[in-house]
Chain A
Amino acid sequence: AQRVTQPEKLLSVFKGAPVELKCNYSYSGSPELFWYVQYSRQRLQLLLRHISRESIKGFTADLNKGETSFHLKKPFAQEEDSAMYYCALSAGGTSYGKLTFGQGTILTVHP
């Protein structure tokens, strides 16, 4: 069975500082990793997926299979980045796109 761990429940940074939200996973196969975000009073939405190797709102995430990690990074945090962030894993294949989510990290960016 797969598992996703986000070790930080809360993360606080100041505006302009770098931010890294940690995500570690355990899965015996080849995983597909995602980051989802939930801003205040908004619904949960996809931020980025590793397969696309994209940068969204200045965030990037690199899949490190050796360390089984998929940390989310941004060089200069903005106040509007304050939100709940979830790392998620899909087992692929015939999993019907089921996702296993981590516990979530609440990011607060102070002015």
Chain B
Amino acid sequence: DVKVTQSSRYLVKRTGEKVFLECVQDMDHENMFWYRQDPGLGLRLIYFSYDVKMKEKGDIPEGYSVSREKKERFSLILESASTNQTSMYLCASSPRTASSYNEQFFGPGTRLTVL
């Protein structure tokens, strides 16, 4: 059974704190993604990675950074959390093949609240 896990289901942080969200997949997938999910806005891509140590900005990278030191792990970092980063964060992974029809597999999400 394919599995994407995220380190926390719920997280509460204070403004200005550095926040780490961890994502691990056990499917040997090359591609990994971080989205935030907000009502009325859908899912928006923050960053993605297509290989170890490789990363590319998505649509809303401001205020975030990522790290991919190992193939199975993709971390999202909020350098200085702000209240407008309160959201649900979803991690996903997919295999890299010649086709772009590949399904993305999602984690359960981390609901982050920044006070």
Chain A interfacial positions (CB closer than 8 Å to B): 4, 6, 9, 32, 43-46, 49, 51-52, 86, 90-93, 95-104
List B residues 36-69 near A (Cβ within 8 Å): 40-45, 48, 50, 56, 58-59
Q: Which of A6, A44, A95, A96 contacts B106 (CB 8 A)?
A: A44
* Total A-B Cβ pairs within 8 A: 61
Interface size on B (CB < 8 Å)? 28
With known contacts A45-B106, A90-B100, A96–B31 Cβ distance under 8 A = yes
On chain B, the residues within 8 Å of A96 by CB distance are 31, 48, 50, 56, 96, 100
Question: Which has the most chain A C-beta neighbours within 10 Å: B59, B104, B109?
Answer: B104
**In contact, B31 and A101 (Cβ under 8 angstroms):** no
Report the minimum CB–CB distance from B81 to chain A (whole Å): 24
Q: Does B101 contact A (CB under 8 A)?
A: yes
Q: Would B42 and A86 count as touching, CB distance under 8 A? A: yes
| Residue contact B42 to A51, C-beta cutoff 8 Å | no
Complex CA distance for A32 and B92, rounded to whole angstroms: 18
Complex Cα distance, B48 from A110, in Å, reads 38
B74-115 CB mask vs A (1 if < 8 Å, else 0) is 000000000000000010101010001111101111000000
